Amino acid sequence: MARWGVVGGGVLGLMLAHRLAGAGHDVTLIEGTPELGGLTAAWQIAVPGVDGAPDETVTWDRHYHVTLLSDRRTQEMVAAAGLTDELHWVETKTGYYGTDGELRSVSNTMEFLRLPGLNALDKLRLGGTIVYGSKIRDGKRMERIPVDAWLQRWSGTRTFERFWKPLLRAKLGDAYRAASAAFIWATIHRLYAARRSGLKKEMFGYVSGGYARVLDRLGATLTAEGVKLMLNAPVRRIRRDGDQLAVDTDLGTERFDEVVVTTNSHLAADLCPDLTPDEAGRLRAVRYMGIVCASLVLRQPLAPYYLTYITDPDTPFTAVVEMTAFVDPQEMGGHHLVYLPKYVSPEDPLFDASDEEVRAGFLPYLQRMYPTLRDEDVLAFRVSRVRRVFAVPTLGYSGRMPSMTTSVPGLHLAGSAQLPFATLNVNDTLGLVEELLP
């Protein structure tokens, strides 16, 4: 039995700790913030009472999350939390806001084919691109081509501008320009897998109470399994100490035989001074995108769409995600929850804007999209900011990617930087757990 330290209490750290404990190891999970969950963590949004009603609090995920029918590992996590019976599957709709100012449904193939601005040949090429992408087995091949060039080659420029670009911007922001075609390959494969396992409809899942509930129950499961949970314990340094690794945290130093660091790769390089210059260089060279994500609590719904793509390249946010078009509004005390994400580079000045400044930048465009939305309908507006969310799969990335094993005995690194052929999602992240198990 080895002593394992897992740095980071996001879903990756949590499920790794669960599996290691199940295999009989002595496991300590060290999380820097007061709560578990990382990017999936929930938060509270204060909703001031109107017309004499008392103030309320909406508790939901800081960042919107859905589970696909094909997300087997995510569903295993929900099972480990004992919540399988509370996973609800809902058919969702997708919207499309065109440059003509019209909001349309693109929730099925027929609606999709009615999209204006694309002729029959464009649509044929679009369908052909998706089918062709789904048939390619080797994502590595796609890494050599920029994603915009690959899509324009197979779908044409007009379809790229009107269809693919809004989709890329919704997932990658302007970082799509640096991404390889491996990204769209991974996206197409994820959607195909979802539809294969489903009813050809877009069915998404959520757990009642959101990730707050999953994380709470998962924390209890880990404690029952004997995992030591250290919260509020930011790790400052991980260094060799004889045959072991010493982990210095704000709560003291812990010693382990094996340590897995699940933070972003730049931070991992800072935390581990014993890595070689080449290893540290690879970690720091990973290009990340960050997110500024506003949560809006509204008095009434905007539209029936969970996700609305926006064609206009100059929008202040990259998509509209209406959570309560999917999750029962009763989960939010009868209010409506909308997210406005903006994917940006870690250096973007938007990270320094206050919530009020973000609101002033975002709200006028939202009101242009939904003209009936009045200022007073926005009951609360709260902004989440994370500078390094996801490693962008740049050209030839898998060849430069930092390895999970390091030259320091017992030290392992894992996160989106080790996922060259994936999109940003829990299920693919949890795939790393298998690779880390001894």
Ligand X SMILES: Cc1cc2nc3c(=O)[nH]c(=O)nc-3n(C[C@H](O)[C@H](O)[C@H](O)COP(=O)(O)OP(=O)(O)OC[C@H]3O[C@@H](n4cnc5c(N)ncnc54)[C@H](O)[C@@H]3O)c2cc1C
Residues of this chain that interact with ligand X (CB under 6 A) are 7-13, 30-33, 38-40, 63-66, 74, 234-235, 262-263, 267, 291, 293, 341, 389, 415, 424-427, 429
10 vs 410, which CB is nearer to ligand X?
Answer: 10
The tally of CA atoms less than 13 A away on the side-chain side of residue 406 is 32
Q: Residue 390 Cβ, how far from ligand X at the closest point, in Å?
A: 7
Q: How far apart are CA 413 and CA 403, in angstroms?
A: 7
SS3 23: coil
CA distances (Å), 106 to each of 55, 101, 103, 201, 309, in order?
Answer: 37, 15, 10, 12, 10
Question: What is the rounded (10 degree) CA torsion for 230, 424, 418, 9?
Answer: 0
Name the residue nearer to ligand X (CB basis): 69 or 235. 235
Please say which residue, 31 or 202, places its beta carbon nearer to ligand X.
31
Helices (H) and strands (E) in the chain — how many of each? 15, 20
First to last CA, the chain: 11
Nearest distance from residue 155's CB to ligand X, in Å?
Answer: 25
Considering only CA atoms, which of 185, 90, 212 is closest in space to residue 428? 185
Please, what is the minimum distance in Å from the beta carbon of residue 370 to ligand X?
Answer: 21
* 159/308 with CB nearer ligand X: 308
Beta strand 336-344 pairing with 319-322: antiparallel
Alpha helices in 307-380 (DSSP H): 355-369
Minimal distance in Å, beta carbon 145 to ligand X?
25
Q: How far is the CB of 428 from ligand X (least distance, A)?
A: 7
In the complex, minimum distance from the CB of residue 268 to ligand X, in angstroms, rounded to a whole number: 9
Q: Smallest distance from the beta carbon of 91 to ligand X, in angstroms? A: 16
Which segments of 198-264 does DSSP mark as H helices, in order? 210-224
Q: Cβ atoms within 10 A of the Cβ of 50, count? A: 10
- Least distance from C-beta 260 to ligand X, angstroms? 11
Element (H, E) at 383: strand 378-391
> Which CB atom, from 267 or from 353, has the smaller least distance to ligand X?
267
- Which C-beta is closer to ligand X: that of 8 or that of 402? 8
Question: By C-beta, is 272 or 380 nearer to ligand X?
Answer: 272
Angle of helix 182-197 relative to helix 120-135, nearest 10 degrees? Answer: 90
Classify 395 as helix, strand or coil.
coil
In the complex with ligand X, the residue whose CB is nearer, 160 or 326, is 326
Q: Are 200 and 64 in contact (CB under 8 A)?
A: no
The label of the residue with tokens 């700790």 reads: 17
